[in-house]
A and B are shown apart, each in its own frame.
Chain A
């Protein structure tokens, strides 16, 4: 270890001389001596008592401390030189020095003379509230807050944080302070205090420190979002082209008088109600060919109210585009550990609406995503207010509940219209049936023939086909027949298509005399290929080799087929 006197070290490393302005150089052994002595705990930091004592007893130390407290030098350090560097530095804030000196005075009163008290008073005076106001007497603090330029009188900012408790409370509850929007004034005061290190540099009252803590923790007034999200941070939104029908469906019924936050909530809920998580993507465990389309950013244009299967990537793109259109700034996150990577890791976004900071993640869980929960009108999990302020969180919850109820209420009205339609038709049919003698039983075999005829001749596919099949089942067969004679089951067809997707298949089982393994008639229906007569053994073998699979764990079974449940 290099063991030089201070004089030798400064001769050897002359470039360190300039640090003598605010640093007292000593020896390694002296530093060790100081550190081995008594310590005083102040604001969570241990202060070496010997260092403080020297301010009283050594003029050199006092001179540095005085110049530091007066603001002539930026810091006051003690350290030693080793291998051309200043090491093991001891350095404290003005506040720590003054508080530490006051404790030394109390504890070592008998050993210190009146000159020490004078020194203490001189130093303290330089870090006082009065001195703070004096220093910033004519200082204008310029700051841009949420794109507005302000030039605050620094003393107004200081006096605000130093108000008496009652006055501070009152100011925090008002809408304006010194004629400026309350949140902006408080943000200005906080920024001024932070930038000038006021809390560490001056001896301020306990209530002032408490007010500062209240502001910095956003407890009294929520300023967490100020100067954040002034620009959208996203690499993809400009490339997104939304399907017009999808966009119209999302915005359909949105009242004009909603706030921006309520609009953002409305759009999120409507998207969750309109879109579905792609079961195929889930079924293949997010790997392989079935996932390719979701990794292509252009695929989002193909998402429509009918072709509505998405994963988190498309949901995020669509939501970001909708937010962009209503002027809300956001940050998207498509990142994985190696950087920005659309389609490779989970996607979500956060956005700012006035004081609200919201995280939107519709797929916090695949099986319980908001796309599922919203359709059941259950509480959503993925739209979350991430402000620290409890009142802001409560306000967000209220807005979320209000908009959710509004949408659910509208759905109910639409359902009521459907119910009215059915009721009216039912009432008409009821009255009509009392005036006619022509309502007669239609033979089950004839109904089955009609079903086969219609399924074979339809050009529908996908969800439209499924909806049509279920409609036919309802109008042709009564409840007993649906349970005992006619079974229509949609299953997953794991045979990949030319475009790499996995599709569904429909199995129809008929038996006019009631389901019984040996006499059931099995049909296999694939859109575009028509209805193919098959056997139980053939279907069973397709289930056995994994080509067919039940989609859900608890849906109805195909008569005679008991394997192939999703595990």
Chain B
């Protein structure tokens, strides 16, 4: 699942290459996604926000999140 998110993040970096703020945000998300077990280390509110910024549909966010916090 994390690899899928990284792919989406890469696409969004390309798409937003001219949008300085959005590009900075996606670069930060890329750094965050590269941290080991990051979703087991950040609050659910930030995790949901990242998923929203990666354009995951609202109704799927909980489902995706559940996969990201597998033990």
Contacts and interface: CB of A to CB of B under 8 A. Distances in A.
Is this pair of chains taken from one and the same complex?
Answer: yes
Interface residues of B, number: 30
Nearest to A431: B28
Interface string A397-416: 00000000000000000000
B62 A441 contact: no
A464 B45 contact: no
A438 interface: yes
Interface string A410-437: 0000000000011011001101110110
Interface stretch (A11-19, A311-319, A470-478, A494-502): A470-478
A424 B47 CA distance: 16
Nearest to A447: B44
Contact of B69 (A428, A464, A475): A475
A465 B70 CA distance: 12
Contact count band on A: 20 to 34
A459 to B, nearest CB: 8
A438 B35 contact: no
A442 interface: yes
B34 to A, nearest CB: 10
B53 A425 contact: no
Contact of B35 (A425, A433, A454, A459): A425
Contacts of B31: 428
Contact of B28 (A422, A432, A464): A432
A190 B67 CA distance: 75
A442 B50 CA distance: 13
A476 B69 CA distance: 10
Contacts, number: 83
A233 B55 CA distance: 69
A447 B69 CA distance: 12
Main secondary structure, interface of A, reads: helix
A475 B49 contact: no
B32 interface: yes
A450 B65 contact: yes
Interface in A336-367: none
B66 interface: yes
A471 B40 contact: yes
Nearest to A437: B49
A440 interface: yes
B6 interface: no
A49 B54 CA distance: 109
A566 interface: no
B40 A475 contact: yes
Interface string B22-52: 0011001101100110111111111111101
Interface string B56-71: 0000001001100111
Given A439-B46, A458-B70, 6 more contacts: A433-B49, A435-B24, A442-B48, A458-B71, A464-B71, A475-B44
Interface of B: 21, 24-25, 28-29, 31-32, 35-36, 38-50, 52-53, 62, 65-66, 69-71
**What 10 A-B pairs come out closest when comparing CB atoms?**
A468-B71, A438-B52, A438-B49, A435-B25, A439-B49, A432-B28, A458-B71, A460-B71, A428-B32, A442-B44
30 contacts: A421-B35, A421-B36, A422-B41, A425-B41, A428-B28, A428-B35, A429-B32, A429-B42, A432-B25, A432-B28, A432-B50, A433-B46, A435-B24, A435-B28, A436-B49, A438-B53, A439-B45, A442-B44, A446-B62, A450-B65, A453-B66, A454-B70, A454-B71, A460-B71, A464-B71, A465-B71, A471-B71, A472-B69, A475-B39, A475-B42
